[in-house]
């Protein structure tokens, strides 16, 4: 599962960087391109934006702080991917998505003077402008929360312990004690 997680993360990082190259090369000149409209009802546009902050522009201009925080979080994700590689497919997928999205945006922060290229604008309810890497992080976090809340790992561990405690050998040890 470790190799799959790392290959998947590498592919997602590549997709993110290719889309950002397109955004810089094509979208930057045009500013906004209508993308998904139904009649006069605007749902999504592709709008070029350089964001020097984090979520909703928070921590704007704090490039090195953001690089540091993201780097620590990426190391934790990588440790989780390696340490829990055989634990759960859902956990591996969620950590791989978070890792890939974090690396995608970290590349921008390091090589674009702290600015992350964003391009997906939700027009339906005037939400923030974001990018593919952000989507990976958000989907990964949602899957991770789902894993934490609904995983049977804790139940299985306690059931296995109870089964082991009620084995004939354990019963005999208790009777002899």
Q: What is the pLDDT of residues 122-177, one digit of tens each?
A: 998 888 899 999 999 999 999 999 999 998 765 555 555 555 555 556 656 655 55
In a domain, 75, yes or no: yes
* Residue 132, pLDDT score: 98
**pLDDT-derived band of residue 1, with 50, 70 and 90 as boundaries?**
confident
pLDDT in tens, 24-67: 999 999 999 999 999 989 999 999 999 998 887 788 888 999 99
In a domain, 54, yes or no: yes
Domain holding 27, by residue range, is: 2-154
Element (H, E) at 41: strand 41-51
In a domain, 132, yes or no: yes
Q: Which residues are catalytic?
A: 118, 134
* Residue 2, pLDDT score: 87
Instruction: Report how many domains make up the chain.
Output: 1
pLDDT in tens, 55-106: 877 888 889 999 999 999 999 999 999 999 888 999 999 999 999 999 999 9
**Secondary structure (DSSP) of 78-91:** HHHHHHTTTT-HHH
In a domain, 100, yes or no: yes
pTM confidence score: 0.82
* Residue 164, pLDDT score: 53
In a domain, 123, yes or no: yes
In a domain, 27, yes or no: yes
Strands in 32-38's sheet, in edge-to-edge order, are 32-38, 41-51, 116-122, 129-130
In a domain, 173, yes or no: no
* Residue 152, pLDDT score: 72
CB count within 10 Å of CB 12 equals: 22
Q: Which 8-state DSSP code applies to residue 26?
A: I
In a domain, 177, yes or no: no
């Amino acid at each position: 599962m470790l190799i799959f997680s790392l290959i998947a993360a590498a592919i997602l990082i590549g997709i993110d960087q290719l889309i950002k190259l397109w955004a810089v090369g094509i979208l930057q000149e045009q500013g906004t391109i209508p993308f998904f409209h139904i009649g006069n009802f605007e749902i999504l546009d592709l709008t070029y934006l350089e964001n020097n902050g984090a979520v909703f522009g928070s921590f704007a201009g704090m490039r090195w702080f953001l690089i540091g925080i993201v780097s620590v979080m990426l190391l934790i994700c990588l440790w989780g991917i390696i340490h829990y590689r055989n634990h759960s497919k859902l956990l591996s997928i969620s950590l791989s998505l978070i890792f890939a999205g974090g690396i995608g945006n970290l590349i921008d922060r390091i090589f674009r003077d702290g600015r992350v290229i964003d391009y997906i604008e939700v027009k339906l309810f005037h939400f923030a402008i974001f990018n593919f890497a952000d989507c990976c992080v958000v989907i990964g976090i949602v899957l991770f929360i789902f894993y934490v809340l609904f995983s049977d790992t804790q139940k299985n561990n306690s059931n296995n312990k109870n089964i082991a405690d009620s084995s004939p050998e354990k019963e005999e040890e208790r009777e002899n004690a």
